[in-house]
Chains A and B, each alone.
Chain A
Amino acid sequence: MTPLLELKDLHKSFRVAGGKRGFSHSMLPAVAGVSLTLNKGQTLGLVGESGCGKSTISKLIMGLLRPDSGSIRFRDQELSQLNARQWRPLRSQMQMIFQDPYASLNPRMTVNAILNEPFAIHTKLNQQQRRDKVASLLEKVGLEPWHGQRYPHEFSGGQRQRIGIARALALQPELIIADEPVSALDLSIQAQIINLLDSLQEEFGLTYLFISHDLSVVEHLCDQVAVMYLGQIVEQAPVEQFYRQPAHPYSEALLQALPVADPTRTAHRLPQGEVPSPLDPPPGCPFHPRCPYAISICRQQPPALLEIADQHVVACHRSGELNLGGIS
């Protein structure tokens, strides 16, 4: 399988004000050496706690932020050094779906006007042709063409998210980055949106990078799972393997934290404490202060991301010896 998108050792830090008298600043490494591969036609679920750098990754891929170092390859093209003009033709090939459907649509534009923008920017279609395109987009995401005359505030959250999906689909991209597309929605609406994403993938052969903190959603939708902790990928694995037999203690902890309808099951070995501040990351393995399996090497040396099985990589010193519990 050919990778459609490949991230290698990606770094991005943000400057945060702080220090005495506000003159000094410190760097917050939001993304600290991320490597990921995403195959064409597949769905990669990127999971992790809030603040671990998931959204920063999506902005880096979309070119909304510039990485400090590392490479982003899309097909055969290196994206990290492109300027705005070189980016333009690529815009139609990757698009983004946002988390909050209340913030991602311009409140002063009708839905027709919002969906018209991609065509106005990238195509030379005349007004009638664009109108037809917009109408067919609305139908594709399960809305009616006359909905286009309305303003975003007249729609429910689920309908708004459909509009956001329609905008992302407009230019027929290959890659769609969905940044927590359902976490702002009611549970019943979540299922509808996930099914919509599923059927659109089938229809258009889309590749998804699906960012989420909800492992049950990821299990349903994704082919691959990547787990992120404090700006780093700690494990990437095919979805069945991940859920059956995770290889990183943090993955295990996430899976154990899922609610299961089984009163006899006892929770075991949940991580202790809070996520450390990324301003002051622990030495060695970033997870060691909370890891129930940590030994002395974990405190001193950061583990490398190693392939332990086909398509299964993990960054843990003890991945070979631990027998971690998944869910089946």
Chain B
Amino acid sequence: MVSPKVQLRAQLWRQIAANKMAMAGAIMILSMFVLAALAPLIAADPGAVDVSRQLQPPSFHAWLGTDDLGRDVFSRIAYGARISLLVGFVAVGIATVVGIAVGALAGYYGGWVDTIVMRFVDIMLCFPSFFLILAVIAFLEPSIWNIMIIIGLTGWMGVARLVRAEFLSLRERDFVLAIRSLGASDTRIILRHILPNALSPVLVSAALGIAGAILTESALSFLGIGVQPPTPSWGNMLIVGKQTLGTAWWLSFFPGMAILITVLGYNLLGEGLRDALDPRLKR
């Protein structure tokens, strides 16, 4: 007999597979992951400078052309994919963990804990987050890890609100009263009984959040305060291409496409997840 948990997963998978847009999104993301994973096998050294082959248009030798230092654009995109995907995952991972912890505390305990915590969330939301990130980075060394941590720590408020709302409604449900009347500890109630029921909207928001984090990283790198050259990132490749946009379009076009495909992919997958997890749409 197939275990019911597997059945549930299979059902979720079928619902996503039936959604063509979500499948398209999943394929886009998957191809980016394959590109990132296989980078050392299929791409040349992204830092190999060759001044004799500057600004070559896409050709059989350099599929996506070369940049102003003669470096292979395809190789740089493949290695840049590693950075961008990593930033997306780690930043959203931080935001999700912080958001869940804060939202669970506020929603489960309610009362003055809720008031204080959620007012703090409101304050955080008052800052335009991109300028908050800019301001913080001005004080820190712009390393890839700092970028991820800062994007994560400025993006948890939405998750906190979602989780709080779920906790507020779930903590009054009969199955939670039942486990409370069995004398379970708060930790047990929160982690084993409420949280698993509150995760669906968090999953959706995480998928959409990854798209946002990748965009933010690209924007920061474009401004020169994100990932520092010579480490390739899609954002700092755009900045190089900007100066030669009229003569060598491939320098900015292909990194831009990479960003577009990845962000679009996560957005489509997120929307598909939302539809698949929405209990109102279940038969």
Residues of A within 8 A of B (CB): 59, 62-64, 87-88, 91-92, 95-96, 98-100, 103-110, 117-118, 121-122, 149-151, 154, 164, 167, 171
Contact = CB atoms under 8 A, between A and B. Distances in A.
Given A88-B183, A122-B182, A151-B8, 5 more contacts: A96-B177, A103-B175, A150-B4, A151-B4, A167-B178
Contacts of B14: none
Interface in B160-208: 173-175, 177-184, 188, 193, 196-197
A179 to B, nearest CB: 9
Interface in B1-15: 1, 3-5, 8
B4 A110 contact: yes
A108 B196 contact: yes
Given A110-B4, A149-B3, A98 B174 contact: yes
A82 to B, nearest CB: 12
A241 B184 CA distance: 42
Contacts, number: 63
A154 B193 contact: no
Nearest to B282: A153
Given A117-B179, A167-B178, A106 B193 contact: yes
Nearest to A92: B183
B174 A95 contact: no
A107 B197 contact: yes
Which of B173, B178, B196 lies at the interface centre, i.e. has the most chain A CB atoms within 10 A of its CB?
B178
Contacts of A108: 196-197
A103 B8 contact: no
Given A91-B182, A117-B184, A106 B3 contact: no
A64 B181 contact: yes
Nearest to B178: A104
B182 A121 contact: yes
B215 to A, nearest CB: 33
Nearest to A98: B174
Contacts of A154: 4
Give 4 nearest A-B pairs by CB, closest first: A91-B183, A104-B174, A103-B174, A98-B174
A98 B183 contact: no
Which of A99, A103, A171 lies at the interface centre, i.e. has the most chain B CB atoms within 10 A of its CB?
A103
A64 B177 contact: yes
A122 B183 contact: yes
A91 B174 contact: no
B197 A106 contact: yes
B182 A64 contact: no
A171 B182 CA distance: 9
Contacts of B5: 110
- Size category, B interface: 20 to 34
21 contacts: A88-B183, A91-B183, A92-B183, A96-B181, A99-B174, A103-B173, A104-B177, A107-B175, A107-B197, A108-B197, A110-B4, A117-B184, A118-B182, A121-B182, A121-B183, A121-B188, A122-B183, A149-B1, A151-B8, A154-B4, A171-B182
A118 B173 CA distance: 18
A240 to B, nearest CB: 33
Nearest to B179: A117
A203 B102 CA distance: 47
B197 A98 contact: no
Contacts of A121: 182-184, 188
Nearest to B1: A149
B166 to A, nearest CB: 13
Contacts of A109: 193, 196
Interface string B134-167: 0000000000000000000000000000000000
A71 to B, nearest CB: 20
Nearest to B183: A91
Contacts of B188: 121
A150 B8 CA distance: 11
A99 B173 CA distance: 12
Contacts of A63: 181
A104 B177 CA distance: 8
A59 B197 CA distance: 23
A23 to B, nearest CB: 15
A231 to B, nearest CB: 21
Contacts of B193: 106, 109
Contact of B175 (A92, A106, A171): A106
A170 to B, nearest CB: 8
A62 B196 contact: no
Given A110-B4, A149-B4, A104 B183 contact: no
B175 A87 contact: no
Contacts of B184: 117, 121
Given A106-B197, A107-B197, A87 B183 contact: yes
A106 B175 CA distance: 6
Nearest to B194: A106
A63 B184 CA distance: 13
